[in-house]
Amino acid sequence: MIRAAAGTSPAETSNHQQEMTSQEESVPTRQIVPEEWFSEKSALDRRLGLTEAFSILIGRIIGSGIFRTPAPIMILVGSVSMFYGVWLLGGIATLLGAFVYAEMAAMMPKSGGPYAFLRAAYPPVWAFLRGWAMFFVSETGAIAAVSIVFAEYSNSLYRLLTGAAFSRGVEVLIALAIIWLLTLVNCFGVALGGKVQNILSLLKLIALGMVIGVCFASGGSSTHFSQPFWPDKFTWGSLLAMGAAMRYAFFAFSGWEGATYVAEEVKNPRKNLPLSLILGLTGVMLIYLAANSAYLFQLPAASIAESKWVAVDAVEAAVGGIGGILVSLAVMLNTFGSVSSQVLVKARGVYAMARDGLFFRWLGEVHPRYKTPNRALIVQGLWATVLLFAAGFAAHAYETIIDFFSFTSSIFNISTFAAVYVLRRKYPDAPRYYKAWGYPVTLILVLIIQVWFMVTTLITAFIPSLVGIALTSTGLIYYYFNTRTGAAVGK
């Protein structure tokens, strides 16, 4: 019982108590920082340095997108100004998002990347659903999509060499072989996977640089940059078209958070993770702008819109058939490296969920010799195979897979970006080795762009979006069945 101080009336005491209670309620509750979430302790080997983290990011981003997405983007927007607008907006939004991610990655260097951030910020069910969607919808879908592009450019090379093309069934089998070859490589230790990634990232940068150099050095026309520069008229439909095109640009930039998936295997993660995110993304955005400019220098906008293999067509226009052969090899190398990095990092998300009891527990075990999550790698390969056969025979298989997971991914991306705000209030005393540049303005801008993208994706890809959401929702059945029965999730 609180007594009134001498000289203080009961009414004054009551008012004072109410004022104190109001002040206490207005201050966010400071929760105890869970040491295991924010420490650098790990059962995995920290064998990856800044070079490997940077290579993983480069390998994850530069894959199929820059060679495959210019055509669907140009089909949707139809003008040079909006074409560049989509690429610039996608790059800037992604870079702003990287500033936000860098704070959380340095604070929580744990496997699983976004899953780890959501686990700390929100109730367990939301982190679980994101991981469920990652496995069943988005991440394995991306592995299947990029493997399809590898197979398509293999077909392009075969056509250039023989004058004939092989069937779609053969393309699917090639994509399948790539998924399993790289899954097996990554089962033999993260050091081996990291070294392979270093080599592939270097080679793909050289290859893309050669494509850009050849296109600018041979022929071409600057008039392509202005025909047509503006759309005939800018309407609500133009805004929807630009939003729809953004899902292909975002896919081309996707993977920038790749190094955070292997955070428990990165040396000095508080420094190396933020550096790899920001430096890598800045470089990739400049490279993408240069590559698209090289394509436009060789091909008019209408030709880009009609091209399935835009890089091949651009280099063929520049130096003839031999150029098409070389660029097909370059694209195959890039997509091969992209699938390799995706297989490497995405299995860590499955592993992290299983280790936390939010997925089948046996997937959270580490190989005793190679210290890699081999069970997660194998199961990831199996589901990527299912998605490959489900969509691989569609007329536009690549676009179909992207449409399938874009809306679902945007929902979880928004909640992950917003997690930096939640974590600042929930754990104000947690160590922050890097703070998001421009916060909160950067966060607000990222959220505005992501919400606009989410809404336009739902409007322009309604059925594929619903399919992705339906598959994600099945996770609720799994989660609540295990919770209701009192069983440990994943046993």
Full DSSP string of 142-158:
HHHHHHHHHHHHHHHHH
How far apart CA 66 and CA 83 sit, in angstroms, is 13
> Backbone dihedral region of 33: left (phi > 0), alpha (psi from -120 to 50 degrees) or beta?
beta
Residue type, 66: I
How far apart CA 73 and CA 307 sit, in angstroms, is 11
At 48, is the secondary structure helix, strand, or coil?
Answer: strand
**Looking at the domain 43-485, which fold is it?**
Amino acid/polyamine transporter I (1.20.1740)
Predicted confidence pLDDT, tens digits, the chain (491 residues)? 333 333 444 444 444 444 444 443 433 445 655 666 666 666 565 667 777 777 777 767 777 778 888 989 999 998 999 999 999 999 998 888 888 888 888 888 777 678 788 888 999 889 888 888 888 877 788 888 889 888 988 988 888 888 888 888 899 999 999 999 988 887 876 555 556 666 777 777 887 888 899 899 888 888 898 888 888 777 877 888 888 898 889 888 877 776 676 677 777 777 777 778 888 888 888 989 999 999 999 999 999 988 877 888 888 888 877 877 888 888 888 788 778 877 877 787 778 778 777 777 787 777 777 777 888 889 889 999 998 888 777 767 777 778 888 888 899 989 999 999 999 998 888 878 888 888 899 999 999 998 988 998 898 889 988 988 998 898 898 888 776 655 444 44
> Backbone dihedral region of 486: left (phi > 0), alpha (psi from -120 to 50 degrees) or beta?
left
pLDDT at 1: 34
The answer to whether the predicted template modeling score (pTM) of the entire model surpasses 0.75 is: no
pLDDT at 290: 93
| Close Cβ partners of 383 (under 8 Å, ≥ 6 residues apart) | 135, 136, 140
H or E, element range at 82: helix 80-107
Residue type, 293: S
Q: Helix %, strand %, coil % for the chain, to 5? A: 75, 0, 25
CB 131 within 8 A of CB 347: no
Task: Report the length, in residues, of the chain.
Answer: 491
Q: Which of 58, 139, 68 is nearest to 331 (CA)?
A: 68
How far apart CA 133 and CA 162 sit, in angstroms, is 42
How far apart CA 55 and CA 197 sit, in angstroms, is 6
| Close Cβ partners of 77 (under 8 Å, ≥ 6 residues apart) | 83, 85, 86, 231, 238, 241, 242, 245
How far apart CA 332 and CA 307 sit, in angstroms, is 17
pLDDT at 22: 42
**What angle do helix axes 236-253 and 80-107 make, rounded to 10 degrees?**
50
- Domains of the chain by residue range: 43-485
pLDDT at 292: 94
Both tokens assigned to 321: 């058939």
CB 151 within 8 A of CB 165: no
Q: In sequence order, what DSSP letters do the residues of 93-147 get, joined into one string?
A: HHHHHHHHHHHHHHH---TTTHHHHHHHHS-HHHHHHHHHHIIIIIHHHHHHHHH
